[in-house]
Copies of this chain bind each other. A is one copy, B any other.
Amino acid sequence: MIMSAYQPVTPEIIALLQSAVGADAVTTAPAELQLHAKDQSHHAAHLADVLIYPTRAEQVSSVLKIAHQHCIPVTAWGVGTGLEGSAIPVFGGISISFEKMNQIVKIYADDFQVTVQPGIGHKDLNAILARQGLFFAPDPGANATVGGMLANNASGIRTVKYGASKDNVLKMQVALADGTLIDVGSRSVKQSSGYDLLHLFVGSEGTLGIITEATLKLVPVPSLMSAVVAAFETVEAAVETVVAVRGSGLDPAALELIDAAHCHMLRETEGVDLSDHPTLFMEFHAAHETTLQAGLEAVQAICQEMGALSFRATTDTTERKKLWHARHHSYEIMVRSHPNYHFFIMDVAVPISAYPALIGYVEQLKRESSVIAYMIGHAGDGNIHVEFPFADEAEYERCMVLNGLIIEKALELGGTITGEHGVGMGKAVYMAKEHGPALEVMRAIKQTLDPKGILNPGKLFID
């Protein structure tokens, strides 16, 4: 990809865009460009030259045709909750906001499916689906758009039971670099018909095509849920419990770890009822009360066997939300407790058996460096986030050194450079190390599908 070949967004290009999608869908207002210049990551902002608000797929197609013909970069924008800069238009050009493509196209209740436009927030979607007793399971925390979640293969706390975004999508309409609209996947839940293009586009971060519609897999809202919070003397004991719970066939819907430092901070600043120990938060879903109770008894037996210091469980909705409050609000509590700090959240994942080694390594780095850091993890998936508050450039640089060391360690342990935040800008430099010669296959596919390199340049690959 020869990025120097990009053409500027001239008044003629703006006129072409306006004529293609309507003048009211095109803006160059600095305030609006500024609002779409940066996601929630630590990466620097960058302005697009023009912002488009399409209302339908054909407009996305038209914009891409113009961009392709004139060699102008195109970056898709959901709602800016990304954590690796995937939506930052680092080469300027055209940004496409999906703010106005936020509708449900059709609910297929009998099929447990919904077709949506990509700009709908997953929380907004679930609020509507709840009326039908259904929900879209992946939950990255923030109210990310479905398009952003799919482009990034976002996951979150319920992935241990329900899978990541890639596991919860059946079909998509995608606009290719030259504007061609294609359908990939099928509303049939089983399909063995040719290459799995659906999963090629999922997680490709807008570098191979832009998602214009998606049909999602839904699951019934569980009739009953229980919550469990258990503290352990060591991370090893906590992780052994994770393995035992998963091995028992109990099928937890969430299995989260908060480290001792995080628990300490939560208690000290908010009076949350946690001790300074690695603590597991679990959630179980069931259709029947007896099932739920039997499950809880089994979990308690496992936790006791693993030497849990404390064990609290409930099936009551109010009590459950209270128990989980610390987990659900841990990030904002941390932010509140560190006024005047910026935050950098790193993301790696390893096979579950390597989780204690990874956590132990992070703890060792923290001790040796005296950098402030908190660990919070989707333990059931071997996924960990290290949250680094930093006040200035020097502290940021120290965090980045640790970030690099933790990534190297995750790879050494058979893991990945990113479990759910994506590659974006920050992880591109580690791609060769993770993928070896397979990276050349990715580049070849990129070259084939986007020969001019107009789709979200500056992401995934280091040129």
Q: Mark A187-223, 1 if CB is under 8 A from B, else 0.
A: 1111111111101101110001000000000011011
A438 touches B200 (CB 8 A): no
A220 touches B248 (CB 8 A): yes
Residues of B within 8 A of A353 (CB): 108, 110-111
A416 touches B191 (CB 8 A): yes
A423 touches B187 (CB 8 A): no
Within 241-294 of A, Cβ neighbours of B (below 8 Å) are at: 243, 246-251, 285-288, 290-291, 293-294
Docked complex Cα distance between A186 and B350 (Å): 9
Residues of B within 8 A of A189 (CB): 349, 351-352, 381-382
Docked complex Cα distance between A189 and B190 (Å): 21
Within 160-187 of A, Cβ neighbours of B (below 8 Å) are at: 164, 166-167, 176, 180-184, 186-187
Q: What's the least CB distance linking A118 to chain B, in Å? A: 18
Q: What's the least CB distance linking A253 to chain B, in Å? A: 11
A442 touches B195 (CB 8 A): yes
A92 interface hit (Cβ, 8 Å): no
Q: Mark A115-158, 1 if CB is under 8 A from B, else 0.
A: 00000000000000000010000000000000000001111000
Docked complex Cα distance between A181 and B111 (Å): 40
B445 touches A445 (CB 8 A): yes
Within 428-452 of A, Cβ neighbours of B (below 8 Å) are at: 431, 434-439, 441-442, 444-449
A327 interface hit (Cβ, 8 Å): no
A460 interface hit (Cβ, 8 Å): yes
A383 interface hit (Cβ, 8 Å): yes
Docked complex Cα distance between A298 and B291 (Å): 12
- What residues of chain A have their CB less than 8 Å away from a CB belonging to chain B? 108, 110-113, 133, 152-155, 159, 164, 166-167, 176, 180-184, 186-197, 199-200, 202-204, 208, 219-220, 222-223, 243, 246-251, 285-288, 290-291, 293-295, 298, 349-353, 378, 381-383, 410, 414-423, 427, 431, 434-439, 441-442, 444-449, 460
6 interchain pairs, CB-CB under 8 A? A166-B196, A187-B351, A188-B381, A188-B415, A193-B423, A288-B291
Further contacts, 15 of them, CB under 8 A, given A180-B437, A220-B248:
A110-B352, A111-B353, A183-B435, A186-B414, A188-B416, A190-B349, A192-B418, A192-B420, A194-B431, A195-B200, A196-B200, A199-B199, A219-B249, A223-B249, A288-B291
